[in-house]
């Protein structure tokens, strides 16, 4: 007797010529996800991404905790970019509860989220480097990341999972001498970034490997709804910080980085250019920040939102990150949806890998700035 298959499992016929490869989920270059790749010789015929190995049900968990209890666990999908994933949540809850954020807290938030963008991008750059066989590009960013982490540790007390943002401001004020320390660090960091350009981005081997690989056209980038560096490397000028400025981004001096090529090289270069802009933003914010003042609006215990819903988005290290919070008048949110850049960019993976050589898979995959844990939530 044949045991019936559980729902969801499908059988398929196998072609002699086509071979199916499971890349992942044990992280041999795929992150914590599986890519079901079919190859004809050396060329990829089709690719079926299979995420979900690190799905933790953050959205479900958020329905059982009140607005403040949700802070530490909602940042778990991207612990390297935790300020940026809490940012839209805090903005949404502030809208729901009608909270005003003090001016100084707005600047501190911007500084923290830009530092966090650097931490994330350096980590991603390290992985991108090592998977292309460039081991120096693994060592350098991981080393430089420590300085940014030290700054964030001084701000929040934690190295990676900061839980620094709260609805109504930030958890605590900046430490003494932070400004001086931060400026010194940023100066050093900008010098280092120039060296990255020389050793990595102008490297002829890297260029040969990534230029013209996995090209995404402008129209496809729009049609597939991609976001972040994937979108901006394909020639679309869209950055939430510029288009829908939140907090004090409209006061600050920076530019959106856009490239036209849409290949792996351009996709890997946009986050690097963003880091340079982050340095500019931090310096500008430190200059314009009020030197003293409150950093947190006091909340009532167990605050309740009305019968309302809010969708707020910010620009994270991987693109637009939206939080959709539905409230039904209770202290807990009725529904929280996290719309993340990684999940939105996942859709273009089958299109980009089709027709590529299998050896170019890591170059395309990691250039998408994809973070499996965030995509699964």
Partner 1 sequence: MSSETTIDEKSSETVETKPEIAKKEITPVVEPKFEKSLAEKVVSKFGTIVTIGFIKPNRIRINAKKENILDVATFIRDELNFDHAESVTGVDYPKSKEIEVVYHLGSYTEPQLAKQVLTLATRVPREDIPNPGHDSTRMPSLRDVFYSVEFHERECFEMLGVYFDGHPDNRRLLLPEDWADIPPFRKDFGIKGR
Structure tokens at 63: 């329905």
Q: What is the 3-state secondary structure (H, E, C) of 311-339?
A: EEEEEECCEEEEEEEEEECCCCCCEEEEE
Give the H or E element holding residue 195: helix 178-196
Q: Spell out, one character per residue from 219 to 258, where the chain touches partner 1: x when CB under 8 A holds, - when not.
A: ---xxxxxx---x----x-x----xx--------------
201 touches partner 1 by CB under 8 A: no
Structural contact between residues 282 and 174, judged by C-beta atoms closer than 8 angstroms: no
CA atoms within 13 A on the CB side of 330: 11
Q: Spell out, one character per residue from 3 to 42, where the chain touches partner 1: x when CB under 8 A holds, - when not.
A: ---xxxxx--------------------------------
**In whole angstroms, how close is the CB of 134 to partner 1 at the nearest point?**
31
370 touches partner 1 by CB under 8 A: no
Residue range at the interface with partner 1 (CB under 8 A); choices 51-59, 67-75, 207-215, 288-296: 51-59
Of the pair 52, 133, the CB lying nearest partner 1 is at 52
Q: Spell out, one character per residue from 290 to 309, where the chain touches partner 1: x when CB under 8 A holds, - when not.
A: -------------------x
Virtual CA dihedral for 216, 220, 226, 230, nearest 10 degrees?
20
Site for partner 1 in 206-225 (CB under 8 A): 222-225
Sign of CA dihedral 161, 106, 194, 215: positive
Of the pair 69, 161, the CB lying nearest partner 1 is at 69
Structural contact between residues 271 and 305, judged by C-beta atoms closer than 8 angstroms: no
Number of H helices, E strands in the chain: 15, 8
Of the pair 9, 14, the CB lying nearest partner 1 is at 9
Structural contact between residues 126 and 133, judged by C-beta atoms closer than 8 angstroms: no
260 touches partner 1 by CB under 8 A: no
Residues that bind partner 1 (CB under 8 A): 6-10, 50-52, 55, 57, 59-61, 64, 222-227, 231, 236, 238, 243-244, 309, 311, 313, 320, 322, 324, 326, 334-335, 337, 339, 343-344, 346-347, 376
């Amino acid at each position: 007797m044949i045991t019936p298959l559980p729902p969801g499992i499908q059988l398929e016929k196998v072609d002699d010529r086509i071979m199916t490869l499971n890349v992942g989920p044990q992280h041999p270059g795929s992150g914590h996800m599986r890519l079901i790749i079919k190859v004809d010789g050396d060329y990829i015929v089709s690719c079926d991404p299979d995420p979900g190995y690190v799905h933790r049900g953050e959205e479900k968990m958020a329905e059982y905790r009140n607005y403040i209890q949700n802070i530490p666990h909602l940042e778990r999908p991207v612990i390297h970019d935790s300020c940026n994933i809490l940012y839209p949540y805090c903005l949404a809850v502030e809208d729901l509860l009608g909270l005003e954020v003090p001016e100084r807290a707005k600047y501190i938030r911007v500084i923290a989220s830009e530092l966090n963008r650097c931490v994330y991008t350096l980590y991603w750059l390290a992985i991108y480097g090592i998977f292309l066989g460039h081991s120096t590009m693994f060592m350098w960013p991981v080393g430089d990341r420590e300085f940014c982490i030290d700054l964030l540790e001084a701000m929040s007390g934690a190295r990676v999972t900061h839980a620094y943002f709260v609805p109504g401001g930030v958890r605590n004020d900046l430490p003494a001498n932070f400004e001086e320390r931060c400026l010194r660090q940023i100066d050093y960091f900008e010098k280092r970034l120039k060296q990255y350009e020389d050793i990595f981005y102008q490297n002829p081997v890297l260029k040969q490997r990534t230029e013209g690989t996995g090209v995404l056209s402008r129209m496809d980038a729009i049609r597939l709804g991609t976001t972040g560096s994937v979108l901006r490397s394909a020639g679309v000028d869209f950055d939430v910080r510029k288009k829908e400025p939140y907090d004090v981004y409209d006061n600050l001096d920076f530019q959106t980085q856009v490239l036209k090529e849409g290949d792996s090289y351009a996709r890997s270069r946009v986050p690097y250019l963003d880091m340079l802009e982050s340095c500019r933003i931090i310096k500008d914010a430190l200059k314009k920040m009020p030197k003293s003042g409150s950093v947190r609006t006091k909340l009532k215990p167990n605050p309740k939102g009305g019968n309302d819903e809010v969708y707020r988005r910010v620009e994270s290290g991987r693109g637009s990150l939206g939080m959709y919070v539905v409230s039904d008048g209770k202290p807990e949110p009725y529904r929280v949806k996290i719309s993340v850049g990684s999940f939105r960019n996942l859709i273009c993976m089958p299109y980009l890998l089709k027709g590529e050589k299998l050896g170019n898979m890591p170059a395309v995959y990691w250039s998408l700035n994809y973070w499996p844990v965030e995509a699964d939530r």
